[in-house]
């Protein structure tokens, strides 16, 4: 298949080989924002590409995305990134994350000569890309950023939140910002999501997407929008935020923040009921 030269969304970040532990039961699964995000965006009907790095022995794992019609631009790395996620609470809001491997920093040379309506930066661990990489994409067009890949840092065998030293300069170039509740609290010191959203927006992002177990909150155009997550089970909890953010961005290309928020809530509800990326019929909201 010949890759396209223009896309609705291009996702940047590491594909992951994760080990997810829930109530003491562990299972190896594919993961990463590029995985969960690209599949749901493609299922919604968008033209999608992924730019990633991983060990050549794992290149075949990308076929799951290729079969969805997603164009892959993969660079070889000494390792494939992976995380052991151990969930601790009944609502699976909090987790302990231990790095299992790291594929190294994406390089500007890894970026294909292609355009996108949104450049979605969805890293897993700090170090996947730097400020210069973000700036280069922002010079091309609107950037969406999941902040976890700039504040989640390996330390003593686990992943912890650390301040992003370039947060002001970085967020000034972001149009759509995604954080979860734990990240929002760590970055802003606020437990009230509305207050946290306004603090984050002051750095420059036009729209803030915040996720938590109860649902998604969007701050855009000075207004706050919310949509609940109402899953019948949480067996598909891993990838919740990645799915929500990608779904919001996908719908936001054609609809208002309010509509995109409701749509993201509905899709993310369904996703949490099944492991793996979203593959259900797309709901109408």
pLDDT tens digits for range 173-219: 999 999 999 999 999 999 999 999 999 999 999 999 999 999 999 99
Per-residue pLDDT, 27: 80
Per-residue pLDDT, 12: 98
Q: Which of left, alpha, beta for 92 (phi over 0: left; psi -120 to 50: alpha)?
A: left
- Mean pLDDT computed over 150-179: 95
User: Sorting pLDDT into bands at 50, 70 and 90, what band is 2?
Assistant: low
128: pLDDT strictly greater than 90: yes
Q: What integer best gives the mean pLDDT of the chain?
A: 93
- Mean pLDDT computed over 126-131: 95
- Mean pLDDT computed over 93-110: 88
User: Sorting pLDDT into bands at 50, 70 and 90, what band is 59?
Assistant: very high
Query: How far is Cα 112 from Cα 40, in angstroms, rounded to an integer?
Result: 22
91: pLDDT strictly greater than 90: no
Query: How far is Cα 35 from Cα 13, in angstroms, rounded to an integer?
Result: 9
Residues 187, 150 contacting (CB under 8 angstroms): no
Residues β-bridged to residue 228: 215
Give burial (CB, 10 Å; 0-12/13-18/19+) of 35: buried
Task: Tell me which residue has tokens 């290729």.
Answer: 66
The least confident of 69-73, 97-101, 199-203 is 97-101
The least confident of 22-36, 252-266, 271-285 is 22-36
Residues 98, 159 contacting (CB under 8 angstroms): yes
Residue whose C-alpha is closest to residue 203's, from 150, 137, 124: 150
88: pLDDT strictly greater than 70: no
- Domain edges within the chain: 6-271
Q: Quickly name the fold that domain 6-271 has.
A: 3.40.1190
- DSSP element (H, E) containing 203: none
Sign of CA dihedral 236, 151, 51, 282: positive
Query: How far is Cα 98 from Cα 26, in angstroms, rounded to an integer?
Result: 13
Residues 46, 86 contacting (CB under 8 angstroms): no
User: Sorting pLDDT into bands at 50, 70 and 90, what band is 96?
Assistant: confident
1: pLDDT strictly greater than 60: no
Residues 109, 164 contacting (CB under 8 angstroms): no
Q: To 5 degrees, how large is the angle CA 105–CA 108–CA 110?
A: 80
Query: How far is Cα 275 from Cα 29, in angstroms, rounded to an integer?
Result: 9
Classify 202 as helix, strand or coil.
coil
95: pLDDT strictly greater than 80: no
Residue length of the chain: 285
Per-residue pLDDT, 8: 98
Residues 41, 150 contacting (CB under 8 angstroms): no
């Amino acid at each position: 298949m010949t890759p396209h030269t223009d896309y609705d969304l291009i996702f940047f970040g590491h594909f992951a080989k994760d080990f997810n532990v829930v109530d003491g039961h562990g299972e190896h699964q594919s993961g990463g924002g590029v995985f969960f995000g690209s599949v749901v965006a493609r299922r919604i009907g968008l033209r999608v590409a992924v730019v990633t790095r991983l060990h050549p022995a794992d290149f075949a794992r990308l076929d799951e995305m290729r079969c969805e019609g997603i164009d892959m631009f993969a660079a070889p790395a000494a390792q494939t990134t992976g995380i052991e996620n151990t969930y601790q609470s009944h609502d699976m809001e909090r987790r302990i994350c231990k790095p299992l491997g790291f594929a190294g920093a994406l390089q500007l040379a890894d970026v294909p000569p292609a355009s996108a309506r949104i450049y979605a930066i969805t890293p897993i661990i700090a170090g996947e890309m730097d400020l210069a990489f973000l700036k280069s994409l922002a010079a091309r067009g609107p950037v969406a950023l999941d902040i976890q890949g700039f504040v989640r840092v390996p330390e003593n065998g686990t992943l912890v939140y650390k301040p992003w030293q370039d947060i002001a300069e970085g967020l000034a170039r972001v149009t759509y910002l995604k954080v979860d509740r734990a990240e929002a609290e760590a970055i802003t010191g606020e437990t009230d999501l509305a207050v946290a959203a306004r603090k984050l927006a002051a750095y420059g992002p036009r729209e803030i997407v915040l996720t938590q177990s109860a649902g998604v909150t969007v701050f855009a155009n000075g207004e706050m929008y919310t949509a609940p997550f109402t899953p019948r089970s949480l067996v598909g909890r891993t990838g919740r935020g990645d799915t929500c953010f990608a779904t919001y961005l996908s719908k936001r290309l054609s609809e208002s923040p309010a509509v995109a928020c409701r749509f993201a809530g509905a899709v993310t509800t369904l996703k949490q009921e099944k492991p793996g990326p979203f593959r259900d019929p797309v709901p109408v909201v």
